[in-house]
């Protein structure tokens, strides 16, 4: 059952990503990618890491993709589409993907009656993950955060206001 769910989620994820990279309209692409992230979050949950699943939704689906949408809208990259006919056909793949994701979620709940309760062992507790990240893998975390800091400083350097009189 769990194995079957894993493969179904994998297929959904691949299909959503494929739809994402083949769309002409960037807004549609972003929506497919969000569906893909949900499949990924469910997969993490299936693997016993609810915390990573929650992060997946918060960081990728909740923040980064909204940022993408913001940029797309601000730069006016989305072509103004004139709807033809009822318009449902074009959204059929997304509806199918979402429906199968929903079904997977329900199966996941049925498969695992203790989903709501705190059970040790299989499910990784937030504390255990925190200890591993900041104890055993502290070096890696620090290195990654330094890289992000460099990136931030670089972005600031590129985007800083030029002093007066200096030309581009």
Partner 1 sequence: MTPEMLSLSNSPGLFVGIMLLKLLVVFSVTMLIVAYATWCERKVIGHMQTRLGPMRTGWHGLLQPIADGLKLFFKEDIIPTEATRVPFLLAPMMILVPALITVAVIPFGPDLKLGGFLIPQQITDLNVGVLYILAFAGLGIYGIVLAGWSSNSKYSLLGGVRASAQMISYELSAGLTIIAVFMLSETLSLREIVALQQQDLWGVCSFVPNWYVFTQPLAFGLFVITGLAEINRTPFDMPEAESELVSGFCTEYSSMKYALFFMAEYANMIVIAAITATLFLGGWSAPFNIAILTMIPGFVWLLLKIFALMFFFMWLRATFPRVRYDQLMRMGWKVLLPLALANVVITGLVVVILQ
Where along the sequence are the contacts to partner 1 (CB under 8 A)?
27, 31, 34, 50-51, 54-55, 57-58, 61-63, 66-67, 69-70, 73-74, 78, 80-83, 86-88, 90-91, 113-114, 116-118, 123, 125-127
Q: Where are the alpha helices (DSSP H) in 47-137?
A: 50-55, 65-74, 92-111, 126-131
Q: Max alpha carbon distance in the chain (Å)? A: 68
**58 versus 141: smaller Cβ distance to partner 1:** 58
Nearer to partner 1, 1 or 11 (CB): 1
| 17/14 Cα distance (integer angstroms) | 5
Shortest distance in whole angstroms from residue 61 CB to partner 1 = 7
Separation of alpha carbons 56 and 29, rounded Å: 18
For helices 26-46 and 65-74, what crossing angle results, to 10°? 180
User: What is the nearest approach in angstroms of partner 1 to the Cβ of residue 70?
Assistant: 4
Q: Is the Cβ of residue 130 or residue 154 nearer to partner 1 in the bound state?
A: 130
């Amino acid at each position: 059952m769990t194995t079957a769910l894993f493969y179904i989620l994998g297929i959904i994820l691949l299909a959503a990503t494929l739809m994402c990279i083949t769309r002409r309209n960037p807004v549609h692409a972003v929506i497919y990618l969000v569906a893909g992230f949900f499949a990924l979050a469910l997969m993490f949950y299936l693997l016993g890491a609810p915390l990573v699943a929650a992060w997946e939704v918060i960081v990728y689906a909740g923040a980064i993709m909204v940022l993408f949408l913001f940029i797309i809208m601000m730069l006016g990259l989305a072509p103004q589409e004139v709807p033809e006919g009822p318009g449902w056909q074009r959204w059929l793949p997304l509806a199918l993907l979402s429906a199968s994701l929903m079904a997977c979620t329900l199966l996941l709940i049925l498969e695992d009656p203790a989903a709501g309760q705190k059970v040790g062992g299989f499910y990784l507790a937030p504390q255990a993950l925190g200890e591993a990240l900041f104890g055993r893998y502290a070096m890696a975390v620090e290195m990654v955060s330094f890289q992000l800091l460099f990136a931030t400083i670089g972005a600031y350097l590129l985007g800083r206001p030029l002093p007066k009189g200096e030309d581009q």
